[in-house]
Every structure is written in C-alpha cells, then in structure tokens.
Amino acid sequence: MANVKAILSAGAILLSAVSGVQAADLLPPPPPPPLEPVSAPNFGNWYIRGDVGVGIDQISGLRSTFSDGSIPPGFARESSSVGNQVELGIGVGYQVNNWFRADVTGEYRTDSHFKALESYSDTTHYCGSGLPSVTTCYDGYDANVSNAVFLANGYFDIGTWYGITPFFGAGVGFSHNQISGLTDRGTGFGQAPDNGKFDFAWALMAGLAYSVTPNFKIEMSYRYLDMGSVQSGGIQCFNTASCSQEFQNFKLASNDIRIGFRYMFADYAPPAPPLEYQQPLVRKY
C-alpha cells in the first residue's frame, strides 16, 4: 500500500512539471531590449532652390561724360535701348514657419544688347563730309551687358489652398554689371575696353507655389529687379587725333518672369529594428 502511494505521488509531481512546461510555451516572449536612440541631423526646415527666367530689361538715366569735361555743341541723345536676358539662379534657404521663409540666391544673366544714338553740331568740319549742308553729326553705340546678382530674400506665404500657395517678398544685395565690346560708330569711330563694377541691387517679387509633394514645390513668379548702374570704359577714337575719351553711364532694371523649384529636406527617419527584436505574432485561443 505504501508503494502504491509513493508511485501515485511521483506521478502527480511529474504531471505538474509537464503541465508547467506546456504553460510556459504558451506565454509571449519577453519584450525586446530598448533600442539606443539614433543621432542624426534634422534638415527638415532647410531647402535648396533653382530658377530660370527671362528678364525684360530697361535702362534709364543714360548720360555721356568726357574725360576733358567738354560737351559737344548741340549734343543730344536721340534714342537708347537694351535687349532681354536669360537668367539662371540657385540658392539655399530656411522655412522659418508656415508663413515666412528666407534664402540667399546667386544668378547669372546672359548678354543683353545695348544700343544708343547721339547727335551733335559741327559747323566747321561738316561731320567730316566736306559738305556745308551737313552740320548735324550722329554717333551710334553698340555693346553687350551681362550681370551676376546676389540677393538675400525674405518671403511671406499667405496660405495654401488645394496645394497652391500665393507669396510675396523682397530682396537686397549687390550686382556685378559688366559692359563689353562697346563700339562708337560715327564721326569719331572708336572702341572702349570692357569694364565691370559692383553696385547695390534690390528686388520685389510675387508669385504662386504648387506642392507637387510635401518636399518638392514649383513656383511661377514675377520680379522687379534693380541692378544699379552700368559704366563703360573710355572710348578710344581711331580716326581723330584730338578725341577726348567718352564714357557711357546708365541705370539698369528688369521685369523678370521666372519658373523655379524648391526641394525641402525631409526629416531623418530612424531605421526599423532588426527582425530578431521585432515582437512576434502570438496566437490567442
């Protein structure tokens, strides 16, 4: 009888141990150890931009100065004009909040053709023609003007509707204005050496931005750009021994129609944990 009781007790103990092991197999595994934080820079508010456009240039305040301070008798400016330019620009900026952003930009503007016509009186040499009836002389000027413009800009985004954001802004900076190939075709034929100068520049702009994706936006905008003054080198006469050097000076501005893009840097996303640390699916009965 004692042996039977011992056998039954041993069987009960063994059955309890087996049941405990099976119950342990049904419990979910312990949670994975916490991942160490990933340190990475956040460029979420920074962006790069690019622009291309056409500048409809205009000149004002055209004047001619002479090295000896003289002014030809009857001197008059008959006409002047300047052609259009293609502009290419890049920049980097920061989106401060939903309403304001700022960037710095640099752009190159291709050659624009400058032309001018001036007249003066010559009652002694008859403009070199030898004909007493010819007393009004004409000089025509041709040159190319190109520019490099650097601006710090601020913009106000008014709001966004259906992905479209109207904005307006302003910029200040400087421009390097280059005039090259200046030729004087007239009574005193001559040429001037190329000359460039830096001057203060400012701009006003307005346009629309469209969000293609949360990170990529395209823009269409108008900008008024004042590039300051342009000054030529002194014109050297080729067929007149006693010719004083003449300089051309004028103000240059442009009405720009531009298409651009902005790419916003996305926030850094930490990598997914390794598979062995991911929580397994536990079936519940």
Mean of all residue pLDDT scores within the chain:
82
Q: Are 201 and 228 in contact (CB under 8 A)?
A: yes
H helix and E strand count, the chain: 1, 11
Q: Taking the CA atoms of 10, 15, 16 and 22 in sequence, report the sign of the dihedral they define.
A: positive
Query: 120-150, pLDDT tens digit by residue?
Result: 887 766 676 666 667 788 888 999 999 999 9
Tell me how far CA of residue 202 lies from CA of 79, 152, 165, 228, 254, in angstroms. Answer: 27, 9, 24, 9, 11
Q: Are 111 and 145 in contact (CB under 8 A)?
A: yes
d(CA 189, CA 238): 6
- Which long-range contacts (C-beta less than 8 Å, at least 24 apart) are formed by 92-98? 92/46, 92/47, 92/48, 92/49, 93/46, 93/47, 93/48, 93/49, 93/153, 93/262, 94/45, 94/46, 94/47, 95/45, 95/46, 95/47, 95/264, 96/45, 98/157
Q: Across 158-188, where does the E strand assignment appear?
A: 164-186
Backbone angles phi, psi at 132, to 5 degrees: -60, -20
CA 66 to chain CA centroid, Å, is 38
Query: 190-242, pLDDT tens digit by residue?
Result: 899 999 999 999 999 999 999 999 899 999 999 999 999 999 999 887 766 56
Both structure tokens of 215: 């990170």
CA 77 to chain CA centroid, Å, is 36
Judged against a pLDDT cut of 60, whether residue 19 lies above it is answered with no
Give 254's strand partners. Answer: 57, 225
Query: 34-76, pLDDT tens digit by residue?
Result: 655 544 444 568 999 999 999 999 999 998 888 777 777 777 8
Both structure tokens of 97: 């909040």
Domains and CATH numbers, the chain: 46-264 (2.40.160.20)
For the ranges 18-32, 105-119, 224-238, which has the lowest average pLDDT?
18-32
| pLDDT, position 186 | 73
**Res. 280 pLDDT band, cuts 50 70 90:** low
Neighbouring residues of 102: CB distance < 8 A, sequence distance ≥ 6: 93, 94, 96, 152, 153, 154, 155
d(CA 30, CA 199): 70
